[in-house]
Amino acid sequence: METPADDSRLGYGKIGYGCEHYRRRCKIRAPCCNEVFNCRHCHNEHTKDRHELCRQDVKTVICLVCDTEQPVAQVCLNCGVNMGEYFCEVCKFFDDDIEKGQYHCDDCGICRVGGKENFFHCKKCGSCYSVHLRNKHSCVENSMKHHCPICYEYLFDSLRETRVLKCGHTIHSECLHAMINHEQYTCPICFKSVVDLSRLWRKFDEEIEATMMPEDYRHRKVWILCNDCNDTTEAFYHIVGHKCLHCQSYNTRMIAPPILPQ
């Protein structure tokens, strides 16, 4: 076996190897099936109907420069190349594209991207959030340890960007944009508004003002529950919608049928 001469080999082949998920200079041997894959995502896509690879269980890797199989380490013990500019010994994770700002979060138990200085770990939500959300988000216990309510992909370790809604629930950013493009403006889980709808509520005010209900319904009232503030109020029945007297939202639902005032 060769002995690396000096550190000049470390950067050899950087960004030149890898797969669609990561640029790296090694493959992994999956201990669950003893097969070789470029990364755990390649493994999971190939075996998605059977099993998933636990990243921490990987014991050996194969250098893509010299094809030497060896215990997990950042530097190839045979040819001396960095098998990944970023290396996490806990996650057995290699990546040459360090512009992602990878870091390991002990509380999450996995590696994240975006720069450690830009994130904090919310203990209640159970995941890393942008520092801009510190003390500015609604905590939902383990909110990231759920599936996206639109595409149903598990969010906690998803490679796609995730958004935290005002209500505290989480969703893929692209799924949220698709939802809004289809004029769906409420959280699929709790039905609270996900964007500012005050302009739409003003249009509802104008439409109700211009649309008179038939005589039989003109003075009937209904009890409504507001999805935005959770208040229960009474409102005049109208086919266009029912306005919450507490927060002025029309994101409401009837909880009692129209009745005439006593």
- With the C-alpha atoms ordered 151, 155, 158, 164, is the resulting torsion angle positive or negative? positive
Q: What are phi and psi of 62, to 5 degrees?
A: -120, 120
End-to-end Cα spacing for the chain: 95
Whether the predicted pLDDT of 2 surpasses 70: no
What CA–CA distance (Å, rounded) separates 26 from 38?
Answer: 7
pLDDT grade, residue 48 (50/70/90)?
Answer: low
- Residue 3 pLDDT: 46
- Residue 218 pLDDT: 86
Q: Taking all residues of the chain, what is their mean pLDDT, rounded to a whole number? A: 92
- Residue 188 pLDDT: 96
User: Are 85 and 14 a contacting pair, CB within 8 Å?
Assistant: yes
- Residue 45 pLDDT: 87
Whole-angstrom Cα Rg for the chain: 27
- Residue 52 pLDDT: 85
Cα within 13 Å of Cα(220), Cβ side: 16
Q: Residue 99: helix, strand or coil by DSSP? A: helix
Average pLDDT over residues 126-144: 94
Ranking 3-12, 28-37, 157-166 by mean pLDDT, the lowest is: 3-12
Whether the predicted pLDDT of 150 surpasses 70: yes
Q: Where are the domains of the chain?
A: 7-100, 103-181, 198-254
pLDDT tens sequence across 203-225: 999 999 999 999 888 889 999 99
pLDDT grade, residue 262 (50/70/90)?
Answer: low
- Residue 258 pLDDT: 76
Tokens representing 4 are: 């690396």
Q: What is the CATH number of domain 198-254?
A: 2.20.28.10
- Residue 116 pLDDT: 95
- Residue 5 pLDDT: 45
